Amino acid sequence: MAEEKEVGKITHYYGKIGVGIVELSDGLRVGDTIRIKGHTSDFTQTVESIQIEHRNVSEAKSGDVVGMKVIDKVHPGDIVYKVIS
């Protein structure tokens, strides 16, 4: 079974464009597999793109606030985990 490590928390969701804003507590990079879990959210996806202040970046570090395309609705307070295989 894959291990999961908490890497951040959702602070906002833009439904029209399907983007979640994540406050990172650890590093994250494009290509990582993540799981987003909350009261009504629980899904796994690959990180396709990360943006910091509307600029595409390939990785982000702890303390960064990033925008990320999500495949399902997320809610403020949902936890973002990195899946470590």
What pLDDT, in 10s, does the model give residues 20-66?
A: 999 999 999 999 999 999 999 999 999 999 999 999 999 999 999 99
Burial of 80 (0-12, 13-18, 19+ CB in 10 A): buried
Task: Tell me the domains of the chain and their CATH numbers.
Answer: 3-84 (2.40.30.10)
Name the pLDDT band for 85 (thresholds 50, 70, 90): confident
Structural tokens at position 25: 């507590």
- pLDDT attached to residue 79: 98
Distance separating alpha carbons of residues 78 and 39, to the nearest angstrom: 8
| Whole-Å CA distances, 7 to 15, 16, 43, 48, 80 | 22, 25, 15, 16, 6
